[in-house]
Chains A and B, each alone.
Chain A
């Protein structure tokens, strides 16, 4: 089940890196995330901006498969989401 988490969790920590994947179709946003997550320190947050509906499901699924943490997904005013991921290792 997908859930649109609200700002309650994770809002305390600003992202250390923002990846702009707006306009890019899956799997490109996830490839960008996988390539760049190691640029933030452990426990740092990466924010992926994406508007392909597949990214909304696939980034949390990627986190589950790769043992990183999906913090929350925030709707963007212009469409799409800022999907926050915490680097776990």
Chain B
């Protein structure tokens, strides 16, 4: 099986696996207690915090661990809005953020706050002029922008957005789930979120970073864990493994990201040459190294994924027939690109060129057969 769904989850890094098994034995005790095994767990936890902070361009005391990337976003968005209630109740976000941002925005709206959603261009890049104008409006408490899009890979102009936010005195939350460990950390954020299983760590570890001086107040019942930011007992072994994975990934990524990016370039170039009526989506240059998305006209996304699965490819799609909601991906909709027949290839570390070649070899016939079965004359 060729695994091409790293944007959903990166396979556990071998070094994370090793660290996890070791930490299960020595890092199980309650890090908040005072006896020997507790001190040992606390030491492991704080060491992991320091390493992850360094890799993300933060200070250790700014980093809290959550139960997931989604929870980090929920707490980041709702906690900053709560902390800045006196500044106002306006939230600005791009139309292509991860659903965790949009769902948090939905709660805020139901609670009487307002949300301004900024559109994107055809490649998925946020309309920076509109974003800048929106954050200047009075009563803006928070703005959100992802580092790179999870479905199409397009990198957002975070530095420019951060400058606009700084000028307006508005904190910026950057969801860095798709780039942490793969690209240099973004700059200029007030709140940063990430997810360990996207960088080869185990599931169940999210990261919430709140920059010193940013007003933040928990939207949940208070708890004394994680500097009162995240309730519940920390998963120390998983956090230790997450730090090991990030360390390994960051060390490999300078070379590995360039290699994966060249494979993505090959797919972007070859698919429209080999398959008629295909739209390759997203920015060809300003993009995450590992993600490429395209849509095949007249093809049902689910049928294509099923065929790819039979041929040994694990791949996902933003087409409506593959979603539990039966709605097409909000990202593709906002970009105004073809949503049916959609395929997202996202390459994990170590993805082989041979597997990419095989993918390019089987795809044209597969698409042709599905079109023929649907009665399309080409």
- Does A25 reach chain B (CB closer than 8 Å)? yes
A62 to B336, alpha carbons, bound, how many Å?
10
Interface centre among B95, B121, B338, B341 (most CB of A within 10 A): B338
Q: Is the beta-carbon distance between A57 and B339 smaller than 8 angstroms?
A: yes
Contact with B along A28-65 (1 / 0, CB 8 A): 10110011000000000000000011100110111001
Query: Which residues of B are found within 8 Å of A35, using beta-carbon distances?
Result: 377
A30 to B338, alpha carbons, bound, how many Å?
11
Q: Which of B297, B328, B375 contacts A57 (CB 8 A)?
A: B328
Q: Is the beta-carbon distance between A2 and B336 smaller than 8 angstroms?
A: yes
Query: Which residues of A are found within 8 Å of B376, using beta-carbon distances?
Result: 31, 34
Q: Is the beta-carbon distance between A53 and B336 smaller than 8 angstroms?
A: no
Query: Which residues of A are found within 8 Å of B165, using beta-carbon distances?
Result: none
A34 to B31, alpha carbons, bound, how many Å?
64
Interface size on A, residues (CB 8 A): 19
Query: Which residues of B are found within 8 Å of A62, using beta-carbon distances?
Result: 297, 338
Interface residues of B in 116-137 (CB under 8 A from A): 119-121
- Does A19 reach chain B (CB closer than 8 Å)? no
Q: Is the beta-carbon distance between B319 and A31 smaller than 8 angstroms?
A: no
Q: Is the beta-carbon distance between B338 and A61 smaller than 8 angstroms?
A: yes
- Does A1 reach chain B (CB closer than 8 Å)? yes
Distance in angstroms from B275 CB to nearest chain A CB is: 13
Q: Is the beta-carbon distance between B334 and A1 smaller than 8 angstroms?
A: yes
Query: Which residues of B are found within 8 Å of A34, using beta-carbon distances?
Result: 298, 376
Query: Which residues of B are found within 8 Å of A79, using beta-carbon distances?
Result: none
A53 to B341, alpha carbons, bound, how many Å?
15
Distance in angstroms from B252 CB to nearest chain A CB is: 37
Q: Is the beta-carbon distance between A58 and B277 smaller than 8 angstroms?
A: no
Q: Which of A2, A27, A54 contacts B297 (CB 8 A)?
A: A27
Chain A residue nearest in CB terms to B333: A57
- Does B151 reach chain A (CB closer than 8 Å)? no
- Does A26 reach chain B (CB closer than 8 Å)? yes
Q: Interface residue tally of chain B, by bracket?
A: 20 to 34
A28 to B337, alpha carbons, bound, how many Å?
17
Distance in angstroms from B151 CB to nearest chain A CB is: 14
Query: Which residues of B are found within 8 Å of A31, using beta-carbon distances?
Result: 298, 374-376
Given A1-B334, A60-B336, CB of A54 within 8 Å of CB of B320: yes
A62 to B297, alpha carbons, bound, how many Å?
8
Chain B residue nearest in CB terms to A64: B336
Q: Is the beta-carbon distance between A30 and B336 smaller than 8 angstroms?
A: no
Q: Is the beta-carbon distance between A25 and B321 smaller than 8 angstroms?
A: yes
Given A27-B299, A27-B300, A30-B298, CB of A61 within 8 Å of CB of B336: yes
Chain A residue nearest in CB terms to B327: A53
A69 to B24, alpha carbons, bound, how many Å?
62
- 7 other A-B residue contacts (CB within 8 Å) besides A1-B334, A62-B297: A1-B120, A26-B319, A31-B298, A54-B319, A58-B328, A61-B337, A61-B338
Measuring CB to CB, which residues of chain A are less than 8 angstroms from any residue of chain B?
1-2, 25-28, 30-31, 34-35, 52-54, 57-58, 60-62, 65
| A-B pairs, 8 with minimum CB distance | A26-B340, A1-B119, A61-B338, A27-B340, A54-B328, A54-B320, A57-B333, A54-B339
Report 7 cross-chain contacts, Cβ distance below 8 Å, ordered by A residue: A30-B297, A30-B298, A31-B298, A54-B320, A57-B332, A57-B339, A58-B340
